[in-house]
Amino acid sequence: MPVFSLPDSPGVGDLGPAAYRFADFLQSAGQTIWQLLPLGPPAKGDSPYSSYSAFAGNPLLISCEQLVADGLLTKQQLADAGHNEHQDGPADYEAARTVKKRLLKAACVEFQRSADAEMRQAFSEFCTCSRHWLDDFARFDALVANLGTPDWSQWPAELVHRERSALQAIDKRLCDEIEIARFEQFVFAKQWSRLKAYANSHNVRIYGDMPIFVAYESVDVWVNQELFCLNESGRPLVVAGVPPDYFSATGQKWGNPLYDWDRLAATHYEWWVQRFRQAFEHFDLLRIDHFRGFESYWEIPVDAPNAIGGEWKAGPRQAPFDAAREALGELPIVAEDLGLITDEVHRLRDELGFPGMRVLQFGFESEHDDYHRPSAWPTHSVAYTGTHDNDTVTGWYQQRQVDGARNGVLQHFLSEESVPVHWQLIRMVLNSAADTAIIPLQDLLGLGSEARLNTPGLPDGNWTWRCPSNYDNSDLAARLREYSESSDRTS
């Protein structure tokens, strides 16, 4: 359940009452894991997998209602900004920005005017502990607004090359904007910590998601240009993506800059260690998106029209994880190992001891390939009806019927005419040997393709689904608990 898909707040879901209500629903349904999509501020197309910071939180997810409870806003300010106009239908990111930009600025002004000593001390400690990323992020955020573009290669040369005198001048000229950005990150971190503590106290662990790559138009690339494959002007030489697979016939050209792994190795992967350290402060479990990129990655010429003309390049394998383990201890990581996966990728995953992912929808594409079929799943794996890149399981099944797809193997498992198909498919996942099972809320609700989160390769129209306000009824919770108990998935 992505945070932005939660109901009852204007524009997009946030860390307010609906998030706590979802944690309550999970507990009542006997569930012990809440998986999220990435929480960073999106850079392009509002995709959570393209963020302009690998460390910052998305200010759109901040709950203004909690800021009222903290005394930094009033209910009248929320009403004046249109915050009380709860909208049905898909997520509206622009509406959220319009409402929250004004309110967060007002909250920052009130914080500076009236915050007590305890809150000021908490802010000071946050800024100190987060200095390794926060100062540059706040500066970048202010510069994007001031210069009108996140493409830092188009900024004045002294800023592109981060000359000290230029940065000092910006810190002085944009001090108010920089302070607002720091304040927003402080509030996000505070609200996130509060929500995670609440979920954990209700026996719910938080399962986060880390994209392997970062956006070119990000503070991470601007600050660490030497760690990426860029030319003298700071532009990418090659970009990331994947070759053609079952998601896309032409592959996917993501456009993210690729890492200079030799340079990273020379730093003992310091940037990655810092990234993992913060991730495990925020999450109890962590999915590494596109794990196969650590074994080998698809390198695409920056001017190629699509991903077909790329080539495989060797990745750093286990080295970044070894560096993180040395600094942090054991890493509760799940490897996203979907797509065109080789034996070498499987060996790397197993050498590191990470479970991989199995997806029911991929298990019935071929009668002879049962790798993703529930009857073949190993214990050390995380199983899904579908992921954020799949259609809903109901939409998938309905499309197979429309297309006349061969359902012989699938129909063998669907024998209970009195039970809705989506519940039969969910029960197949729960009854599998996989030690962890994740069911998207859309599948629990039996929603069709209109509730799909993302269609890979489609640049627009994604990441907009929001769940209905009445999702958490007692019948749904009771049924999910019953199925979890009958499959020995509850303690």
- The residues, any chain, with a CB within 8 Å of residue 172's CB and separated by 6 or more, are none
**Do residues 63 and 478 lie in contact, with contact meaning Cβ atoms separated by under 8 Å?**
no
Question: Alpha helix locations (H) across 17-92?
Answer: 17-28, 64-69, 75-80
| Cα→Cα distances 454→109, 219, 395, 459, Å | 38, 25, 13, 9
User: 87-91, 208-212, 291-295, 342-346 — which is least confidently predicted?
Assistant: 87-91
Instruction: For the chain, give the mean pLDDT.
Output: 94
Q: Would you say residue 184 has pLDDT above 60? A: yes
Identify whether the C-beta of residue 63 lies closer than 8 Å to the C-beta of residue 9: yes
What's the pLDDT at 406? 57
Q: Which of 171-180, 306-315, 395-404 has the highest mean pLDDT?
A: 171-180
Percent of the chain with pLDDT over 70: 98
pLDDT score of 293? 96
CA distances, 160 to each of 145, 224, 232 (Å): 16, 11, 11
What would the mean pLDDT of 72-84 be, rounded to a whole number? 92
Distance between CA atoms of residues 461 and 87, nearest Å = 18
Say yes or no to pLDDT of 169 above 60: yes
Which sequence positions are flagged as catalytic? 289, 336, 389
| Cα 108 to Cα 66: distance, rounded to the nearest angstrom | 14
Asked if residue 166 has pLDDT above 60, the reply is yes
Please state, in angstroms and rounded to a whole number, the distance separating the CA atoms of residues 86 and 389.
Answer: 27
Q: Distance from first CA to last CA of the chain, Å, rounded?
A: 23
Domains (range + CATH), the chain: 3-52+189-486 (3.20.20.80)
pLDDT band of 348, cuts 50, 70, 90: very high
pLDDT of residue 65: 95
Q: What is the dihedral of CA 190, 193, 199, 204, to 10 degrees?
A: 160
Q: What pLDDT, on the 0 to 100 scale, is given for residue 173?
A: 98
> Model pTM?
0.95
Residue 407's pLDDT band (boundaries 50, 70, 90)? Answer: low
CB 136 within 8 A of CB 143: no
Read off the tokens for 11: 């524009």
- Report d(CA 83, CA 392) in Å as an integer: 31
Query: What share of the chain has pLDDT > 90, as a percent?
Result: 85
